[in-house]
Amino acid sequence: MKIWIIGSYGIVSTTAMAGGKALEKGIIDKTGLVSELPWFEGIEKFAPLEFEFGGHDVRPLKNAYDAALEHWELNRHYDRNILDGVREDLEKIVASKGTALNCGSGIEELGKIETLESENLTLSEIVDRIKKDMKSFADGETVVINVASTEPLPKKSEYHETLDKFEKMIENDEKEFATASMLYAYAALKLGLPYGNFTPSAGSSIPALKELAIENKVPHAGNDGKTGETLVKTTLAPMFLYRNMKIVGWMSYNILGDLDGKVLSHRDNKESKVVSKDKVLEKVLGYSPYSITEIQFFPSLVDNKTAFDFIHFQGFLGKKMKFYFIWDGIDAIVAAPLVLDIARFLLFAKKKGIYGVVKELGFFFKSPMESDIVNTHQQFEVLKEWYRELVNG
């Protein structure tokens, strides 16, 4: 299958590419891939573990190998032999120039960037270029996944409400109201390519693009990969619920380095991330305990994100107790296999005639579109059931 990655030179993206090619070559085993669990037996008939990658980025690097090497030298997040083993494959992947329209001040941290808008193109010309790039790569087995830097929340606008209005916005070149992630999502859905949003950016989640997905009968899913502290939080919080213990306070303090951390250290870019993290406790518990969620940039950690959590909970006889945990994850290692999983499940969905928001893929996301289920245990049951019914249907 083919995966077109928005943000193809990022650490999650290049780790997914290296991992995907290494899997194909049998250099690594399948640990970390949800789609390879026994409950999803048979998925390889719809979405084999053979990958071709392409994508958009705004950093003018030579190819995905150079990008992967840059990340590897900073993070050493996997065995160097793996990267050497897929070097030739990654050297062939050269990203097309993308757009960073309304991507916020955090984008300045990326260093030198080259964008379509700097060529003085209109919105309609930008969309045409994105579509042309995707089209020249895509076939009937292609999925688009957004793994680009997090954008700020978009400016609220009527243009996002219906497909007609969204297309008017493009026609009238109203750049102020469009963000890059919306334009990529629009292009993908317009071309009939399934779309997954691994970031908290708007992407396909605005009503206009949901309408387009239904009209064009394309499956899509998002938002924001659930990989670290939120994964632990939404797996652990149900325990308190099941034992009828009350959580009175939950503090989460996240520190991380690398580019993602740098971009998120900008207030506007961070806002969308904190919002997507805060909602989960209320959804799991049915009430909203006092909570603090902080994300701070900590350069020396590079891609090793650390989350400190403090939970204050109340049990029988009103007694308050405390629980602390520290999650020391390597962001790209927990995220990369999910990029491959989401792409495989979306292609499976497409082949089974599923379209619109695929709520059943909520298991993979922090803010699942059109679903209030954030309890990881429930989400996993929903995913298994959805797959079982479709694969046998």
Ligand X SMILES: NC(=O)c1ccc[n+]([C@@H]2O[C@H](COP(=O)([O-])OP(=O)(O)OC[C@H]3O[C@@H](n4cnc5c(N)ncnc54)[C@H](O)[C@@H]3O)[C@@H](O)[C@H]2O)c1
Site residues, ligand X (CB under 6 A): 6-7, 9-13, 56-59, 98-100, 103, 107, 110, 147-150, 180, 198-199, 224-225, 227-228, 259-260, 331-332, 334-335
Please, are residues 154 and 160 in contact by the beta-carbon 8 Å criterion? Answer: yes
Sign of CA dihedral 378, 380, 383, 386: negative
Question: Mapped to the 3 state alphabet, what secondary structure does 102-154 carry?
Answer: CCCHHHHHHCCCCCCHHHCCCHHHHHHHHHHHHHHHCCCCEEEEECCCCCCCC
Whole-angstrom distance, CA of residue 250 vs CA of residue 229? 12
Distance of closest approach, residue 27 Cβ to ligand X, in angstroms: 22
Of residues 224 and 341, the one with the C-beta less far from ligand X: 224
- Comparison of 13 and 371: residue with beta carbon closer to ligand X: 13
- CB closest to ligand X, residue no: 10
Give the angle subtended at the CA of 221 by the CAs of 269 and 153, to the nearest 5°: 20
What is the residue type of 348? F
Is the torsion defined by CA of 145, 149, 151, 152 positive or negative?
A: positive
| DSSP for 294-328, written as a single string | EEEE-GGGTTEEEEEEEEEEE-GGG-EEEEEEEEE
Nearer to ligand X among residue 107 and residue 284 (C-beta): 107
Judged by CB, which is closer to ligand X: 223, or 371?
223
Neighbours of 84 (CB within 10 A): 10
| CB 327 to ligand X: min, Å | 11
Name the minimum Å distance from CB 198 to ligand X: 5
Q: Shortest approach of ligand X to residue 149 CB, angstroms? A: 4
- Tell me whether residue 146 or residue 375 sits nearer to ligand X (CB atom): 146
Residues 6+ apart with CB under 8 A from 342: 143, 145, 196, 198, 221, 361, 364
Residue among 269 and 313 whose Cβ is closer to ligand X: 269
| CA pair distance 193, 354, nearest whole angstrom | 13
Q: Do residues 197 and 337 lie in contact, with contact meaning Cβ atoms separated by under 8 Å? A: no
Nearer to ligand X, 334 or 357 (CB): 334
User: Closest separation between CB of residue 211 and ligand X, Å?
Assistant: 23
Q: How far is the CB of 64 from ligand X (least distance, A)?
A: 10
Rounded to a whole number of angstroms, the minimum distance from the CB of residue 250 to ligand X is 20
Please name which of 326, 310, 153 lies closest in space to residue 224, comparing C-alpha atoms: 153
CB of 352 to ligand X, least distance (A): 26
User: Nearest approach, Cβ of 367 to ligand X (angstroms)?
Assistant: 10
d(CA 43, CA 278): 34
Task: Please count the other Cβ atoms lying within 10 Å of the Cβ belonging to residue 179.
Answer: 25
Residue closer to ligand X by CB (options 62, 243) is 62
β-bridge mates for residue 256, sequence order: 297
Q: Please say which residue, 335 or 354, places its beta carbon nearer to ligand X.
A: 335
